[in-house]
Amino acid sequence: MSQSIVQRVVLFDQDDPLVLTSGAVLPHVEVAYTTTGTLSPQRDNAVFICHALTGDAEVGKWWSSLVGPGKPIDTDRFFVICPNLLGGCQGTTGPMSINPETGESYGLDFPLLHMSDFVSVHRALTRHLGVERLYAAVGGSLGGMQILQWAHDAPGDFDHAVLVAATSRLTAQNIAFSAVAREAIMRDPEFHDGRYAGSGPGPRLGLAIARMMAHITYVSDEALEEKFGRRLQETGEEATPSADAMGMGIAFAVESYLDHQGRAFLDRFDALSYLYLSRVMDYFDPFADQQAAAQIASAGTRFLVISFDTDWRFDTRQSQRIVRTLSDAGAAVTFREIRSPWGHDSFLLDVPQYQETVAAFLSPVRPQVDARPELELIENLIPAGSAVLDLGCGDGSLLARLAIRGGSGSGVEIDPDSFLAAVQRGIDVLGEDIAVVLPTLPDDSYDTVVVSQTLQATQRPEEVLREAGRVGRQVVVSVPNFGHWRHRRDLLIRGRMPVDQSLPYTWFETPNVHLSTLRDLEELFAQLGLRIDRRVLLDRSGRELRGTSGANVRAASAIYVLAAGD
CA 205 to chain centre: 35
pLDDT tens for 143-180 read: 999 999 999 999 999 999 999 999 999 999 999 999 99
For range 36-45, the mean pLDDT: 97
Residue 557: pLDDT band by 50, 70, 90 thresholds?
confident
Our answer to whether residue 192 is catalytic in this structure is no
- pLDDT more than 70, % of the chain: 93
- pLDDT more than 90, % of the chain: 76
Instruction: Look at residue 127 and tell me whether its pLDDT is greater than 70.
Output: yes
Signed CA dihedral, 524, 529, 535, 538: sign only: negative
Q: How high is the pLDDT of residue 379?
A: 92
Strand partners, 544: 538
- DSSP per residue, 397-440: HHHHHHHHTT-EEEEE---HHHHHHHHHTT--EEES-HHHHGGG
- d(CA 533, CA 259) in angstroms, rounded, equals 68
The top-level CATH class assigned to 176-277 is mainly alpha
- d(CA 193, CA 179) in angstroms, rounded, equals 17
Strand partners, 18: 26
- d(CA 73, CA 97) in angstroms, rounded, equals 32
Signed CA dihedral, 112, 116, 122, 127: sign only: negative
Number of C-alpha atoms within 13 angstroms, CB side, residue 82? Answer: 31
Q: Where are the domains of the chain?
A: 176-277, 373-564
Q: How high is the pLDDT of residue 503?
A: 66
- d(CA 358, CA 323) in angstroms, rounded, equals 16
Q: How high is the pLDDT of residue 113?
A: 98
First to last CA, the chain: 64
Query: Residue 523 contacts by C-beta under 8 Å, 6 or more apart in sequence?
Result: none
- d(CA 314, CA 178) in angstroms, rounded, equals 13
Q: How high is the pLDDT of residue 171?
A: 97
Q: Kindly name the residue from 51, 122, 152, 344 that is annotated as catalytic.
A: 344
Q: How high is the pLDDT of residue 510?
A: 61
Signed CA dihedral, 302, 308, 313, 317: sign only: positive
Using DSSP, state whether 286 is helix, strand or coil. helix
Q: Kindly name the residue from 97, 116, 141, 397 that is annotated as catalytic.
A: 141
Residue 471: pLDDT band by 50, 70, 90 thresholds?
very high
Instruction: Look at residue 559 and tell me whether its pLDDT is greater than 60.
Output: yes
Specify burial of residue 110 (Cβ count, 10 A radius: 0-12, 13-18, 19+).
buried
Using DSSP, state whether 135 is helix, strand or coil. strand
Residue 249: pLDDT band by 50, 70, 90 thresholds?
confident
pLDDT tens for 253-277 read: 999 999 999 999 999 999 999 999 9
Q: How high is the pLDDT of residue 502?
A: 64
Our answer to whether residue 141 is catalytic in this structure is yes
Strand partners, 224: none
Instruction: Look at residue 140 and tell me whether its pLDDT is greater than 90.
Output: yes
Pick the CATH number of 373-564 from 3.40.50.12780, 3.30.365.10, 2.30.40.10, 3.40.50.150: 3.40.50.150
pLDDT tens for 413-450 read: 999 999 999 999 999 999 999 999 999 999 999 999 99
Q: Kindly name the residue from 56, 270, 311, 395 that is annotated as catalytic.
A: 311
Instruction: Enter the DSSP assignment of 112.
Output: P
Q: Which of 295-299, 479-483, 531-535 has the lowest mean pLDDT?
A: 479-483
Q: How high is the pLDDT of residue 188?
A: 97
Our answer to whether residue 344 is catalytic in this structure is yes
Using DSSP, state whether 389 is helix, strand or coil. strand
Instruction: Look at residue 252 and tell me whether its pLDDT is greater than 60.
Output: yes
For range 455-464, the mean pLDDT: 91
Are the C-beta atoms of residues 381 and 561 closer than 8 Å to each other?
A: yes
Q: How high is the pLDDT of residue 242?
A: 65
Closest to 160 measured CA to CA, from 138, 144, 136, 131: 136
For range 24-38, the mean pLDDT: 98
Q: How high is the pLDDT of residue 156?
A: 92
Are the C-beta atoms of residues 125 and 80 closer than 8 Å to each other?
A: no
